[in-house]
Structure 1
Amino acid sequence: MRLIDYYMVDAFSERTFGGNAAAVCPLTDWLPDEIMLNMARQHNQSETAFFVPHNDGFSLRWFTTRNEVNLCGHATLAAAHVIFNHRGYTRPAIIFDTASGKLTVSRNDDWLTLDFPVDRTEPQTPPAALLRALGIASYQAAHKGRAWLIELADRQQVEAVKPDIAAMVPGEHKVTITAPGGEGYDFVSRFFSPGEAVWEDPVTGSAHTMLIPYWAQKLGKNRMFARQVSARGGDIRCELKGDRVLMSGQAKTYIVGKLMLD
């Protein structure tokens, strides 16, 4: 019997039941991919993060209930929260080796800052089938990067969208909708990724690698405060620094336990 530490963390939230929940499993060495995928399915969260000590930092991987992914912001924040708060790590920053290169997470009081590469977008016309599935009759602008980015007129329109997930085109399965924020926020967003078994992601760091440069150019400012207006919701302090984006959020531990593998 192998015992593995297990944590569930609400990322991008200062309170339990907010933000985006992620499972986190520290390992001493990698398990077979099939086992990690089965673990992620058993946890049934949008992502499970696995990390292994590596040189002066950690190697980090993320699994949805369907497959391994090459970038996940909230599960990176959750993993860093575990390392800082439960694993006795005393340095001011953590370096993760990942499929998306080296990612750094630094700590400033209760806020953790992710340092991720920018995902630049280009203007494109979204497929009519995607717009129909989202129930969007008109939009302000549409861009494409790692996912679709569709700007709507205001926060109320973003909150009102009720997508037909089953109708979303398989090849265009990632989309963030966004609008100017109001009420103390520079912009708001929501994110859908049914192709990876994430119908609506509560708070999405990877989507903000597109949103931050997009809104920085549009608003003429490099520092912004954003909210993802999902049912759980979450706040993100945003900064554009050249070809990098800084995304700061808080996190709250919900579960600490042990997993037992035969």
Structure 2
Amino acid sequence: MKMYQVDAFSSEVFKGNPAAVLLLDQPMEDALMQNIAAENNLAETAFALPLEAGGWHLRWFTPTQEVDFCGHATLATAHVLIAHQGCAGPLQFETRVGRITVTEAAIDRAGAGQVGYQLDLPRFAPEPLEALPPEIAATFAVEPQALFRNFENLFVVLLDEAAVRGFEPDLPAMTKLGRLGVVVTARADADSEADFVSRYFAPGAGIPEDPVTGSTHSTLVPYWAEVLGKPDLLAYQASKRGGWLQCTDTGERVLVRGQAVTYMAADLTLPEATD
């Protein structure tokens, strides 16, 4: 079976967020999908199965569990289908958070005429949060500027970009939150190309720090669009690998645009009984 590894939200390898992609021709056992994801030890491994009515059923696995929502592995899957399988967009993916549509799109930031992809994602409005969970309260020495959450993550607004870049997570404490992830974010510096920056940690899901996260922007974009008073935003995820996301809040959906590049195509050797 063929497997691709793609660096998402990047135009060059060794940057952005790596995801593995497998295109299935028949359903695969959950246990085997989880074993493959654990063997890959990437933030996400995506499994796409074609649907009779058209489109794809898409599932995402971390090294430890299946997750409800993943943007960068969706981008990686679309890249594989378009760049390596000759599929034409728009591509429709049926997922746990509903339908995600991906189309080819121009990427302004990287230079005129460069082609990338646009993800049409669900919009999860920020839900106010009164206080940090006690498990991680001590991690933040300075009072956060704001707190909010969605169905799968907590969001902590810090004073400035330097606070986000310099943030030192207490991963053992965050692990106690289980499947709940933690995002730190701030308005970008005045001389920055970006409008806002973020970092994302989900050690309870087997992801100590995610390099570039599409799904968190389904809530980050509505928040910063309101704070900054504009719907079109440029986001930078300030991880070690880093990545840029061009975003738009439509009021009903969140559009995220980025590039992707293939790092590897490999042949998997799987047990015959479950191949």
Give 2:265's aligned residue: 256
Counterparts of 1:131 and 1:156, CA distance in 2: 20
2:157 to 132, 151, 161: 151
Residue type of the partner of 1:213? Answer: P
Tell me, what secondary structure is at the counterpart of 1:205?
Answer: coil
CA-to-aligned-CA distance 1:60-102 (integer Å, 9 cap, x gap): 110111111111000000000000000111x231000111111
1:174 to 151, 176, 181: 181
Distance 1:136 1:73, change over 3 A: farther
Give 2:11's aligned residue: 14
Provide the aligned length of Structure 1 versus Structure 2: 257
1:119 to 112, 120, 124: 124
Residue type of the partner of 2:101? Answer: T
Q: Which runs of 4+ in 1 moved over 6 A?
A: none
Counterparts of 1:229 and 1:88, CA distance in 2: 33
Tell me, what secondary structure is at the counterpart of 1:137?
Answer: coil
Distance 1:169 1:251, change over 3 A: closer
Q: How does 1:97-246 map to 2 (within 5 A)?
A: 97-109=94-106, 110-124=115-129, 125-133=131-139, 135-146=140-151, 147-168=153-174, 170-171=176-177, 173-182=180-189, 183-246=192-255
Residue type of the partner of 2:135? Answer: A
Q: How does 1:50-89 map to 2 (within 5 A)?
A: 50-54=47-51, 55-89=53-87
Counterparts of 2:15 and 2:175, CA distance in 1: 29
8 Å CA contact retained: 1:130, 1:169: no
CA-to-aligned-CA distance 1:186-213 (integer Å, 9 cap, x gap): 1000000111010110111111111000
Counterparts of 1:251 and 1:122, CA distance in 2: 31
Tell me, what secondary structure is at the counterpart of 2:73?
Answer: helix
CA-to-aligned-CA distance 1:45-64 (integer Å, 9 cap, x gap): 01100001112211111011
For structure 2, the 5+ residue unaligned runs are: 107-114
Identity of aligned residues (%): 42
Counterparts of 1:129 and 1:44, CA distance in 2: 26
8 Å CA contact retained: 2:174, 2:202: no
Counterparts of 2:154 and 2:225, CA distance in 1: 17
Displacement of 1:122 in angstroms is: 1.9
Aligned alpha-carbon RMSD (Å): 1.2
TM-score by length of 2: 0.90
Tell me, what secondary structure is at the counterpart of 2:155?
Answer: strand
8 Å CA contact retained: 1:25, 1:50: yes
CA-to-aligned-CA distance 1:158-207 (integer Å, 9 cap, x gap): 00111110122623631110001131111000000111010110111111
Give the structure with the larger strand fraction: 1
Tell me, what secondary structure is at the counterpart of 2:177?
Answer: helix
8 Å CA contact retained: 2:93, 2:100: yes
Give 1:5's aligned residue: 2
TM-score by length of 1: 0.95
